Structure formats: C-alpha cells, structure tokens
Amino acid sequence: MVTTRRRFLQTAAAGGALAGFGDLGFLGRLRPVSADETALDPNIVQMQPDIEPLVRLLEETPRERLLEGVAGKIKAGTTYREVLAALLLAGVRNVQPRPSVGFKFHAVLVVNSAHLASLASPDEHRWLPIFWALDEFKQSQAQDVRENDWTMRPVDEARLPPAEKAREAFISAMDNWDEEAADVAVAALARSMPPAELFEIFCRYGARDFRSIGHKAIYVANSWRTLDHIGWQYAEPVLRSLAYALLMYDDGGAKPSEADYEADRPGRENVARAAALRADWQQGQADEAATAELLATMYAGSPDDCCGQVVEMLNRGVAPQSIWDAMYLSAGEMLVRQPGIVGLHCVTSTNALAYSFRASQSDDNKRLLLLQNAAFLPMFLQAMHGRGQVADVHLTELEPAPLEADGAGAVAEIFNTAGSDRMAAARKIIGYVREQPDPAEFIEAARLLVFLKGTNSHDYKFSSAVLEDYLQVSPVFRDRYLASSVFNLRTTADGDNGLVQRTRDALA
C-alpha cells in the first residue's frame, strides 16, 4: 500500500493538486500506532485517576499549543488509546449536547469517525485524524464557553437507585423524558450492568425519534464503538452525556411522552409493525428485484409507505440484507439528489442504525432498528424538500463512464474530475469498480484527501461511514453506492486544511 499511496500522490501532484504534501515522513517523529493499539473544581465531574491529568491537559492547553503538548506526551510514552480516551472524555465533560445533538457537539460525535479513519490507515498516518479531532475539540470547547460555559457536574450520589432497581428506574425516566431521574439511574447502570445489556437499552432509545437529523442514533453507535476500544472503565460520564442527549426535544412545552409530535410517531407505529413480522423474518432469501422495488418506493414515498412495504417484504421471505441494500442505496441517492447537510446525514444515520442492527442480539431491537431506518429516510427526504430543489436522479440508472488512465492514475483522474463535475466523477467510479472490483486504491486515496483537505467534522463522519458501508452493501450494488460517495468526499481541487503543516510544526 505504501507504493500505491505514493503513486497516487505523485499522479495527483503532477497537476499541482497535492504539491508539497506527498512527504508525510515527518510523522515518523512520533511513535507509530500499531494496528493492535489502535485539584479539580468539586462542581465538575472527575474522571478516572489514570486519565484525569491527560484530560485536563486537553482542556487547559490553549488551542495554538495543544498539538505540541500532545506530541510531547506521545514522545514520552502516552499511547494512542490514552489520547483517544482523553479526547472523548474531555468532550463529554466540556461540550453540552444542546440545543441539538450536533453543531458544537460534533467534537464528541466525530471521535469514533477519526478513530475509524486511523484504524483503516497505514501506521504512519494514524496520528493525523486524532490530531485533527484534538483541534476540533478546542474549537467546540471555545464555542461552548461563549454560549453558556456548560460543564458536566458530579452525579448526585444520594439519589442513585440500588443496582437491582437501576434498569427499571432508567427505562421509566427515559420513557417519561425525565432528565434528572435518568442521570442518576444511568450512573447506577454504568456501575452495575454489562456493556452488552446496556447497549440493548440505549440502541432502542437512540432510534426512537427523528430529531437532530439522526445524531441520536449516531451518538449511540459512535460512543459504544469508542468505549469498546478505550475501555469500559471510562463509561459512566459518556453514558450520562448520552442519556442527556437522547432526551433532547425542541417541539414545544409538552414532553414527547405527553404529546403526539411528528418526530415520535413512526417509532410508536413501528413497535406495532415490528410485532407483525414473522418469527423467522431473518431467514429470508436475497432478492435484487425486491431491493429495486423498495428503492423506488423510497424515492418519493412516506414513512408509512416504506415501513409497510418492508413488513410485507420480510413476511414474504425477502432477506433483511436486501432491505438494507435498498436503504443504503436510498441514502446515497438522496445525497446525489441534493448534496449538502441533510443528504450526508442520510448516509451517516443509516451507518449508525445499521451498526446497531448488526451489534444487537435482541430480535425485538433488530426489528425496530430496521423499521426506524426505513421511516427516517423518507423523513430526511421531506426535510430536503424544505431546503430547496431535489434533483430527479435515480442512482441505479447512472451509466458508467470510461477512464483514460488505470491504477493510481485512474483514482487521480476521478478525484480531479470531481473537483469540477461530481456527476461525471460518479460515472467514472462505476466504470472503475467494474474494472477493479476491489477499489482499495480509491478508498485509501479518499481517506488521504480527508486528512489533507478535510475542514469539518462531517468530512470525517461521512467518509468513515460511507467507506465502511461499501463493504456492507451486496456486491451487485456496490458500484452505485460508492459512486454516490463522491458527492461529499474531498477532491484534489479543494484547498489544504493546514493540519499537515501544523502537525509538522508541532513535531519540529
């Protein structure tokens, strides 16, 4: 892969697009990250003693000196896992997931995406996404200070329910949208319940309502995946933040438990739909025609239309994978039809719900997660219509376009074309994948361009989601799904984000 990466950089740089960025050898001044590693104010929650000093370093070091400070710690022996843990914990302690589970809170949501980008990268690049995320945290921390300077407070120990009553107390609090009761109950759960059991509770609440354009489900999936890597000894503050985020609503004075808001309606209706699925619904047969049929309904259908069709298909023996294929393609197609913030969240929320679907061991939860994603996609489409024109494009009808080059040259050609004509680049991707069924060179180049040119959390969230989900889509549809990715990936025409130079300077 080193040769492939060098060839892409040389080919792309030939036209000046990546001039000066091919040499990332300065990262060798940091210990490489192997694949295996991948007096406080009493009113502020304290972290585990082993990680608290590093968290405070991230919190207290000015943005313009943080990369140098962390680089010094790494040179002295601080591990990748410790930096990742401190990054997540600093975020949940200092950044409020309100007024929406998004905006400045992306500093927390993006930690897992940066981690996934690191894991999928060669050893010598693995610090770049983490250094970017460190800088993103400092921006969000500063914004939070400007808004209300929120900091997570210690849990009220006197109100914690006993371990044997914590689950019931938490579910009651979440069902009643009671933030104070949920906070003490989740702290008790974090101290007594195994992660797998906790996940079955949280994944359901992450999917129950369509608010914050999918960020609730994204936070569940991303926090779980990060905790799995850094260790569950750090779970309590993360789960407190997560419960607080899942209880966000902005519909009016009445709690959702006392009202009938549109954001909650599909979730309530899908509980009944889920119960109507046949007992062996997971044992169906793959059906490409059913995928196309559901994709056509999702092109303009309502949540009721789409969820009803999913139930009908599963009950007639269509495999869940064929349903997911339609939803992956629909998410990508919506991005093509209206590139932008809503379209990209079709992709990232589908990635999160699909992860939860795969990770859940509960048949009831799997049913609900699949149906909720089928409801959310047409709700995203409704939001897109409220933002402007939605193009009349069918992803499965795009014709492949030939490429003049091959290998790394073809990859550079695609990303050069995307700088001026993303639709033309999408067609070239279809042609490329048909000639090169394993598009590893394209995927590695896409990640490298994010490292060099990504400027916001969505660059990392989107690229990590779409490049991961490429392998979750059935092979027959992968060329179309990957083609949609170019509508939000970085291109060789984009400006440098300055991260490489800042990291080089930090290590000097």
User: How far is 95 from 104, CA to CA, in rounded Å?
Assistant: 7
pLDDT of residue 251: 84
Output the DSSP codes for 245-260. HHT---S-SS-GGGS-
Tokens of 218: 């994204």
Of 17-21, 180-184, 261-265, 365-369, the poorest mean pLDDT is in 17-21
Distance of CA 40 to the CA centre of its chain: 32
Percent of the chain with pLDDT over 70: 92
Position 95 pLDDT exceeds 70:
yes
Position 72 pLDDT exceeds 80:
yes
User: Region 319-348: what's the mean pLDDT?
Assistant: 98
User: How far is 256 from 447, CA to CA, in rounded Å?
Assistant: 40
SS3 171: helix
pLDDT of residue 506: 79
pLDDT of residue 19: 44
Tokens of 169: 């107390």
Position 13 pLDDT exceeds 60:
no
User: How far is 439 from 410, CA to CA, in rounded Å?
Assistant: 11
User: How far is 458 from 327, CA to CA, in rounded Å?
Assistant: 20
Task: Look at residues 466, 462, 209 and name the one whose alpha carbon lies nearest to residue 328.
Answer: 466
Evaluated on CA atoms 499, 501, 503, 506, the torsion sign reads negative
User: Region 419-443: what's the mean pLDDT?
Assistant: 95
What one-letter code names the amino acid at 70?
V
- 318 pairs with which residues across the strands? 285
What is the DSSP secondary structure assignment for residue 389, as one 8-state letter? -
Q: Which residues contact 387 (CB under 8 A, 6 or more apart)?
A: 338, 340, 342
User: How far is 467 from 249, CA to CA, in rounded Å?
Assistant: 31
Query: What are the pLDDT digits (tens) for 213-256?
Result: 999 999 999 999 999 999 999 999 999 999 999 999 998 889 99
Output the DSSP codes for 411-434. HHHHHHHHTT-HHHHHHHHHHHHH
Position 97 pLDDT exceeds 70:
yes
User: Region 292-317: what's the mean pLDDT?
Assistant: 97
pTM of the model: 0.93
| Cα end-to-end distance, the chain, whole Å | 27
Q: Where does the pLDDT of residue 21 fall: very low under 50, low under 70, confident under 90, or very high at 90 and above? A: very low
What one-letter code names the amino acid at 59?
E
**Contacts of the segment 163-171: beta carbons below 8 A, 24+ positions apart:** 163/188, 163/191, 163/192, 166/192, 166/193, 167/193, 167/201, 170/201, 170/243, 171/201
Position 10 pLDDT exceeds 50:
yes
Tokens of 316: 């007639």
Position 17 pLDDT exceeds 60:
no
Domain boundaries, the chain: 1-23+398-508, 31-255, 264-385
pLDDT of residue 40: 45
Of 82-96, 112-126, 181-195, 463-477, the poorest mean pLDDT is in 112-126
Task: Look at residues 38, 23, 179, 165 and name the one whose alpha carbon lies nearest to residue 98.
Answer: 179
Contact 135, 499 (CB under 8 A): yes
SS3 57: helix
Position 16 pLDDT exceeds 80:
no
User: Region 23-33: what's the mean pLDDT?
Assistant: 63
User: How far is 159 from 251, CA to CA, in rounded Å?
Assistant: 29
Task: Look at residues 306, 299, 363 and name the one whose alpha carbon lies nearest to residue 331.
Answer: 299
Q: Where does the pLDDT of residue 58 fall: very low under 50, low under 70, confident under 90, or very high at 90 and above? A: very high
Please tell me which residue, 40 or 285, carries the higher pLDDT value: 285
Task: Look at residues 126, 135, 121, 198 and name the one whose alpha carbon lies nearest to residue 167.
Answer: 198
What one-letter code names the amino acid at 258?
E
Which alpha helices (DSSP H) does 148-287 contain, by range? 163-175, 179-192, 195-206, 215-230, 235-246, 265-275
Position 26 pLDDT exceeds 70:
no
Most distant CA pair in the chain, distance: 70
Position 405 pLDDT exceeds 60:
yes
Q: Where does the pLDDT of residue 36 fall: very low under 50, low under 70, confident under 90, or very high at 90 and above? A: low
**What rounded mean pLDDT belongs to the chain?**
92
User: How far is 462 from 349, CA to CA, in rounded Å?
Assistant: 10
Tokens 């799995």 identify what position? 228
